[in-house]
A and B are shown apart, each in its own frame.
Chain A
């Protein structure tokens, strides 16, 4: 498995910070608190409206004894520039859009990356992902990302919400495999074949919303009580550690300082093979999102 490395050569700890939907000063505060605890990977996207808040935090890195090269900023290229309520909905990477007939994919991706750099107050991005496997445009976007990496604007390139067949199509067309695949997985929907596929190809699997099913009650303390008691850890910590043991980097989100610390306090124990198996028995291939409604025709 490829280790993610910050620009100054340090290995990125295998727990990152999910930041949606934080914005502005709140985002800045959460990011700085997380960095103080030890987080280094900050996950955002061009449609979260949070990049400018990350930029505020980047400006204050010196205050907490860090510099830009110590942290790892991950952002994404998306088919709109914000949530569902914004007039750019349906403009990008949509073959029915007039905009796409007037501008090339390269032009659009480069403009989006320029904007992300500007918002985050940085001159490079550690990792840039394609947010969804946009039909008709995925390969073209990927080619631009490869070029951006060659130019040094981006250090790692990857994808998000991609399944095996989508990654295969990128490899087939360009010969370049994504270095990161950020996707949803949890003990109730483990996506083992996708995780194995990524591990086999040195593609780091990053898990967004790793604690969602803890907060929705689909995974309860009763399910994992023996393991929690054995290690004196919370349910959230066990789930995060489970992600790490299977080679994933989870991206838990919280704005509470105590939760941020708790989610990162998972490096003083290891789950045994039997315990991993036990957690995997919770799987029933649960899916939270209807992928085709997020990205039609994927």
Chain B
């Protein structure tokens, strides 16, 4: 290997270990590339709250966290279809973790480029071969795609030692920002205003996708369980009874299989007042995830 090639090889290797590669370009993908444990007992799918709410390390069970940050609901089904062979064929559980706005994200079918590295064509709503080639090239050889500005974030995450527990003020501000962003994302003035046709379509699609996911589990001898992970009170208090009816009951009331267990920990007092278990008002930190996972698995008689 020439010196030039060696240098490129090592730079690529460094980039592949960095924050930008693992948390921006291919966020949450590496666990799919690496996972190779058959007869897994429990798998959780879902979006950001699922990623942060579950941690099976140290528990006497084979569990895998296949949540993906900023994940549309259709990708949950895609992940399940592509990776369910890892599950124990005789007895396994899939935890479908829902975010507050899952009900409004049902029609959202666009999958980011990173999905090309973890999903196969038949499960992608829109598959484009040349895009896949480009993404795979970037995965193997990230240097030509590496933005220089990412160097700062990579260095920052190397020198940053540990994250502090957020203050109550930070939790209040964070909850405000999160709600504002969600309302923007789903084109809502407020949760109390009438839903647009687009939002109604989204809810209809979310119900269909959830039922399809449950049916798929049942057909493959998998126990589906729906879980709403905890939130810090500054955020959960922003959802009124009517809001919850719109965002959750619209889904739950339309689940065709009434035997599916639903575990709602949104306001669980063990978590909602304990800042030490959260990284922000919405997402649990590692400590919180370990405690929550243990509670859920105990509730499901898995440990």
Chain B CB within 8 A of A95 CB: yes
A94–B81 touching, CB < 8 Å: no
Cβ of A285 under 8 Å from chain B: yes
Contact between A290 and B85, CB atoms less than 8 A apart:
yes
- Pairwise interchain contact B81-A297, C-beta atoms closer than 8 A: yes
Bound CA–CA A289/B81 (angstroms): 15
Cβ-neighbour of A293 out of B39, B85, B129 (below 8 A): B85
Measured between beta carbons, the chain B residues less than 8 angstroms from A85 are 133
**Does B242 count as interface, using CB distance less than 8 angstroms?**
no
Q: In the complex, are the beta carbons of B122 and A90 less than 8 A apart?
A: yes
CB distance from B91 to the nearest CB of A (A): 14
Chain B residues bordering chain A, tally (CB within 8 A): 23
Q: B121 contacts which chain A residues (CB < 8 A)?
A: 89-90, 94, 96-97
At the interface, yes or no: B216 with Cβ under 8 Å from chain A? yes
State which of B39, B86, B127 has its C-beta within 8 Å of the C-beta of A90.
B127
Do A89 and B132 touch (CB < 8 A)? yes
Closest to A80 in B: B121
Complex Cα distance, B133 from A90, in Å, reads 13
Among A85, A95, A297, find the residue whose CB has the most chain B CB atoms closer than 10 A: A297
In the complex, chain A residues whose CB is within 8 Å of the CB of B86? 290, 292
Distance of B109 from chain A, by nearest CB (Å): 10
Q: Which of B38, B81, B127 contacts A285 (CB 8 A)?
A: B38
A256 smallest CB distance to B (angstroms): 29
Report the Cα distance A53→B121, complex, angstroms: 29
B83 at the interface (CB under 8 A from A): yes
Secondary structure of the A contact surface, majority rule: loop
B107-136 interface with A by 8 A CB criterion: 119-127, 129-130, 132-133
Q: Is A283 an interface residue (CB 8 A)?
A: no
Give Cα distance in the complex from A90 to B129, angstroms: 8
Nearest chain A CB to B29 CB, angstrom units: 14
Is A62 an interface position by the 8 A CB rule? no
Known contacts A89-B129, A89-B132, A96-B127, A296 near B39 by CB under 8 Å: no
What residues on A are CB-neighbors of B123 within 8 Å? Answer: 296-297
- Tell me whether chain B's interface is mostly helix, strand or loop, or mixed: helix
For B109, the closest partner residue in chain A by CB is A96
Most buried by A among B86, B120, B132: B120
Question: A292 touching B127 by the CB < 8 A rule?
Answer: no
Q: Mark A122-140, 1 if CB is under 8 A from B, else 0.
A: 0000000000001100000
B252 within 8 A of A: no
Nearest chain B CB to A165's CB is how many angstroms away? 9
A59 at the interface (CB under 8 A from B): no
Task: Determine the distance from Cα of A180 to Cα of B184 in the docked complex, in whole angstroms.
Answer: 56
Q: A87 an interface residue at 8 Å Cβ cutoff?
A: yes
- List, in ascending order, chain A residues with CB within 8 A of B129's CB: 87, 89-90
Question: What B residues does A298 contact at CB under 8 A?
Answer: 85
Cβ of A296 and Cβ of B120 under 8 Å apart? yes
Q: B84 at the A/B interface (Cβ < 8 Å)?
A: yes
Cβ of A96 and Cβ of B85 under 8 Å apart?
no
Q: Which residues of A contact B85 (CB under 8 A)?
A: 287, 290-293, 298
Q: Does B22 contact A (CB under 8 A)?
A: no
Asked if B82 CB lies within 8 Å of chain A CBs, one says yes
CB atoms of A297 and B125 under 8 A apart: no
Q: Do B125 and A285 touch (CB < 8 A)?
A: no
Interface 1/0 per residue, A84-105 and B, CB below 8 Å: 0101011001111100000000
CA gap between A298 and B82 in the complex, in Å: 9
CB within 8 Å of A: which residues of B? 38-39, 78, 81-86, 119-127, 129-130, 132-133, 216
11 contacts between A and B (CB under 8 A): A79-B122, A87-B130, A89-B121, A96-B122, A96-B125, A135-B122, A290-B85, A292-B81, A293-B85, A296-B123, A297-B122
A residues whose Cβ falls under 8 Å from a Cβ of B: 79, 85, 87, 89-90, 93-97, 134-135, 285-287, 290-293, 296-298
**4 tightest CB-CB pairs across the interface, nearest first?**
A90-B121, A292-B85, A297-B81, A94-B122
